[in-house]
Amino acid sequence: MAALTEMVVHDSARHPPGKASAGRSAMARQESLAAYLFLSPALLFFGVFLVLPFLFALVLAVSDWSGFDLGTIRWAGLDNFADVLKPDGAFVKPILVNTLLFAFGSVALATAGSLLVASCIDRLRFQGFWRVLYFLPVVATVVAIGNIWKMMYQPAGLINGLLNKLGVNSVGFLSDPHLALPAVTVVHAWASIGGAVLILIAGLKAIDGTYYEAAEVDGANSWQMFWQITLPLLRPSLLFVLITQFIGGLQSFALIIVMTTDGGPVNATNVAAFEMYQQAFKFGAWGTASAMAMVLFVVIFLITLLQLWIARRKGEETS
C-alpha cells in the first residue's frame, strides 16, 4: 500500500497548476465544480456507509447497549474490551487463537501451493487453460465450496471413500474437535490458491529471462535458479499475496458458517469475526461485538505492519 500511495503522489504531480491568467479563473472554478459533481455520488456514499458507520462502530465499542432503542445507550468506557479480553473468557482462547491458526495455516498452504503451481505452470504450454482451472473456486460461491467440502468430508464422502480404499477407517473431519479447524483451513487454502497463482504467474513473467540465461552459463541448476533468482525477484508479488491473503484469512468466516453452522464442535472452528457476528446478531450485544471487531481490526493492522517490516528488513539484507 505504501508503494501505491507513492505512485499516486507522483501521478498527481504530473498536472501542475496551469499558468494563472485572469480569464482562466472562471474556467478553473467551473472545472472544480464539475469535479465535485462527478465525485458527489461516491463521496455521499462513503460518508453514509463508511465514515458514519466507522465512527458508530467506535462509539458502540465503548458503549453498553442492547436492543434497538438508542435512548438506552450508556457509556461503558473500556468495559467491553476488558470483558472481551479477560483471560478466562472464550474470545482470546480458543477464538482468537483459532483465527490466527486458520489464517496462518491457510496462508502457508495457499502460498506454498501457489508458488509451486505458478512456477510449474510458467514452464508449460496452454498456460491460459491451467490458470482458469486453478481459478475455478474463486468464481464459485462460498455456499457451493462449503457444501461440496462438507459433503466430501462426510463419513461416506469422497475423501473417506479414498481413505477406505487405502484401508484406513473413515475419519469424522468436521465432528472431531481436533480435526475440524485443520479441515476448514484446508478448504480455505484450496479456495484461495487460484488468485495467488494468477498474481505469481504475472510476477514470474516480469522477471527478465537474461538472468536465467546468465545463471545457466554459470552452470546453475533449476533448484539454485529458483532460490537465487526467482524467489528474490518475485518478492513484491509474493509479499502482496501474503499480505492480502492474511488480511482475508483473519476476517473470513463465511466458509465457517456454511460448513459448521455455529463454529462447532464446541468453538473448535469459531473465529473472531464469526464470534462478533454471533454476539451482535444472535444476542444483540452490540457493545461486546463492536469491541471484538476493534480487537480484530488492531490484530489485522499489527500483523500487516509486521509483515511489511520483515519484508523491508529482508530487502535491506539482500540489496
Among 20, 26, 156, 217, binds another protein (CB under 8 A): 156
Nearest-approach distance from CB 88 to another protein, in angstroms: 25
Residue 285: strand, helix, or coil: strand
Scanning residues 49 to 68, which ones bind another protein (CB under 8 A)? 49-50, 52-54, 56-57, 60, 68
For another protein, the closer CB: 17 or 87: 17
Among 25, 67, 93, 281, binds another protein (CB under 8 A): 281
Q: Are the CB atoms for 256 and 263 separated by under 8 Å?
A: yes
Residue 232 CB burial class (10 angstroms; 0-12, 13-18, ≥19): middle
Question: Which amino acid, residue 45?
Answer: F
Nearest-approach distance from CB 79 to another protein, in angstroms: 17
Give the C-alpha separation, 156 to 192, whole Å. Answer: 26
Stretch that binds another protein, among 9-17, 93-101, 173-181, 305-313 (CB under 8 A): 9-17
Nearest-approach distance from CB 173 to another protein, in angstroms: 14
Stretch that binds another protein, among 32-40, 82-90, 93-101, 175-183 (CB under 8 A): 32-40
Scanning residues 81 to 110, which ones bind another protein (CB under 8 A)? none
Q: Are the CB atoms for 137 and 194 separated by under 8 Å?
A: yes
- Residue 251 interacting with another protein (CB under 8 A): yes
CA 91-85-271 angle, to 5 degrees, is: 25
Among 81, 102, 149, 246, binds another protein (CB under 8 A): 149
Neighbours of 51 (CB within 10 A): 11
Q: Are the CB atoms for 80 and 287 separated by under 8 Å?
A: yes
For another protein, the closer CB: 142 or 183: 142
Among 116, 168, 214, 306, binds another protein (CB under 8 A): 116
Scanning residues 158 to 187, which ones bind another protein (CB under 8 A)? 158, 160-162, 164, 170
Nearest of 190, 104, 196, 106 to residue 149 by alpha carbon: 190
Which residue in this structure is represented by grid cell 501451493?
113
Nearest-approach distance from CB 2 to another protein, in angstroms: 11
CA atoms in the 13 A half-sphere facing the CB of 294? 22
Nearest-approach distance from CB 137 to another protein, in angstroms: 7
Residues 215-244 as x/- pattern, contact with another protein by CB under 8 A: -x-------------------xx--xx--x
For another protein, the closer CB: 134 or 181: 134
Among 32, 66, 224, 228, binds another protein (CB under 8 A): 32
Among 139, 217, 218, 318, binds another protein (CB under 8 A): 139
For another protein, the closer CB: 3 or 266: 3
CA distances for 8 relative to 3, 34, 126, 312, angstroms: 9, 22, 36, 21
- Residue 25 interacting with another protein (CB under 8 A): no
Q: How many residues bind another protein, per CB under 8 A? A: 115
Alpha helix segments (H runs only) across the chain: 2-12, 24-46, 52-61, 79-85, 97-121, 127-139, 142-153, 158-165, 180-205, 209-217, 222-225, 231-233, 235-251, 254-260, 272-281, 286-318
For another protein, the closer CB: 104 or 226: 226
